[in-house]
Amino acid sequence: MEPSSSRTDNQRNNKFETIICPDEDKIEIPRSFFEEWKHELLRNQHAKITTNDKSSVIHLCLTDEEGFIYCERMVAEKFGFQKPTKVIMDYKISKNEFQMTVIGTIDNSNRPTLFETIINPSESNIHIPIDFYQQWERELNRLNYGWIVWNDKSVPVHFQFKDTDKVMFGNDVCYTFGLERPTKVHLEYTVTNNQFSLTFIESFDDQSHASTEVFEEGLTDDESDEGTIILDNVEEVEDADEPQNDVINPNNQQAVDADEEPIEWNKIVTTSMAKLSKNQVLHFPNALSRGVLSQATFVDLISEDIDFHYRCPIHTSTRSQNMGAFIGDGWFAYMLTQRPRPGDTLIFELFPDTFQLFVTIQRRN
C-alpha cells in the first residue's frame, strides 16, 4: 500500500503531542499526523504504547477522517498518571508501536474553572466566555464534545468555536434539567471528559440583564470524578423509520428480573447502524434497563473473536421514545473494528453478576 503522501517515511513527521487524562480511554491522534500516516494506521486494529519499562496494548479507532487510541484498561492508570499529562508519541511503524515520552503534568491550579452563563429554552447555544475559552483552549479542543452534569443527570453537548463566538449546544439540556425559562447558571469545568458541573442561580423572563462571567477559582485536588464519554455527533436514537429489533431469548425473561445468568438477546443490524460516518451508541432492551442494569455504572464489553475488551460507562437516555440505558465509546470502537453490514445479527450475552457483556456477530449469508 502506498504512503498517504508523496514524501518518504524519513520526510514525514512520526511524532505528535497529545494529552492523557485520568479516567479517559480515548487519546486523540492529531489530524495532521493522522493524514500523514493514514494508510499505515488503517492497516492495524491494535498497537502498543511503550516506555522504557512498561507497555500497554491499545486499540486503534480509525475512520477516513479521524483517529483515536483506545486501551482496554485506562492508559493513565497503566502508566501512573494521576493528573492530565502532556506526552509525545513517537510512531515506530516497523514495530507497530508508539514510544511515549512524558513532557509533564498540566497544572490547572491557577486557571479559573467556573463561569456564569445563560441556558435559554428558546436558544440552542450556551455561550462560553471568551476569556474562559482562551484559558482552556487546548483542553476544550481535544474533543468536540463535553457533558453538563447535575446530581444524577447528565447531557451530552457539542462545541462550536468560531473566532468571536464560543458556544456549546445540546438538544436535551433544557428538557433533562426541566428548564422552561431562561436560567442563569454556574458551570464548573473538569478537564476529564470535558465535564461541566451545573449550579442554578436564578431564572428570569428577560435575559437582557444577564451576563457571562468567569470566576477566578482553581481546580480542586480531585480531578478523578467519573464522567461519561460519548463521541462527537453521537446518534443516541436509532432510525425511527426502522423497526426496533432487540429480541430477548424467552428462556431468559425470568433471568432479567431474577439476576440469573446469562441473559441473551439478538439485534439485527439496520442500514443506519451500518453507516459509521456518524458515531453511535448501543441501547439496552428496556427490560434490562429497568432490571439488572438499573443500578449498574458500567459493563465490560468483550468480543473474543477479535480480542476486544472495553469498560463502557452506562448512560441513561432522557428521550421519551427510548427511556433506557445505553453505552457509547466502547460500542462505537467495536462497530468500527467489525464493520457489520445490514442484515448481520449481533448476539449479546450479559452476565449480571460481573456485568460482562459478550458480543459476537453472525454474518448474513
The pLDDT tens digits of the residues spanning 136-193 come to: 887 888 777 888 999 888 888 889 888 888 999 887 788 888 888 889 999 999 887 7
For residue 231, what is its C-alpha cell?
463521541
Asked whether the beta carbons of 84 and 21 are under 8 A apart, the reply is yes
Asked whether the beta carbons of 280 and 273 are under 8 A apart, the reply is yes
Q: Which CATH number fits domain 114-215: 3.30.365.10, 2.40.330.10, 3.40.50.1820, 2.60.260.40?
A: 2.40.330.10
Q: What's the rounded mean pLDDT across residues 280-296?
A: 84
114-215 shares its CATH topology with 247-362: yes
| DSSP letter, residue 284 | P
How much is the pLDDT for 18?
A: 85
pLDDT band at 244, cuts 50/70/90? very low
Q: Where are the domains of the chain?
A: 15-105, 114-215, 247-362
Assess whether pLDDT exceeds 70 at residue 69. Answer: yes
Assess whether pLDDT exceeds 60 at residue 98. Answer: yes
How much is the pLDDT for 127?
A: 93
Q: What's the rounded mean pLDDT across residues 7-16?
A: 74
pLDDT band at 245, cuts 50/70/90? low
Q: What's the rounded mean pLDDT across residues 269-276?
A: 84
Q: Which range has the top average pLDDT, 80-84, 102-106, 130-134?
A: 130-134
Asked whether the beta carbons of 195 and 225 are under 8 A apart, the reply is yes
Q: Which CATH number fits domain 247-362: 3.30.830.10, 2.40.330.10, 1.10.10.10, 3.90.1300.10?
A: 2.40.330.10
Assess whether pLDDT exceeds 50 at residue 1. Answer: no
Cα–Cα dist 173/122, whole Å:
12
How much is the pLDDT for 347?
A: 93
Assess whether pLDDT exceeds 50 at residue 227. Answer: no
The torsion region of residue 98 among left (phi > 0), alpha (psi -120 to 50) and beta comes to: beta
**Radius of gyration of the chain, Cα coordinates, nearest whole angstrom:** 22
Residue with the bigger pLDDT between 60 and 167: it is: 167
Asked whether the beta carbons of 56 and 80 are under 8 A apart, the reply is no
pTM, to two decimals:
0.42
Assess whether pLDDT exceeds 70 at residue 225. Answer: no
How much is the pLDDT for 73?
A: 54
Name which of 162-166, 278-282, 359-363 the model is least confident about: 278-282
Q: Which CATH superfamily is domain 15-105 in?
A: DNA-binding pseudobarrel domain (2.40.330.10)
Considering only CA atoms, which of 136, 144, 142 is closest in space to residue 114? Answer: 136
The pLDDT tens digits of the residues spanning 342-358 come to: 889 999 999 988 889 99
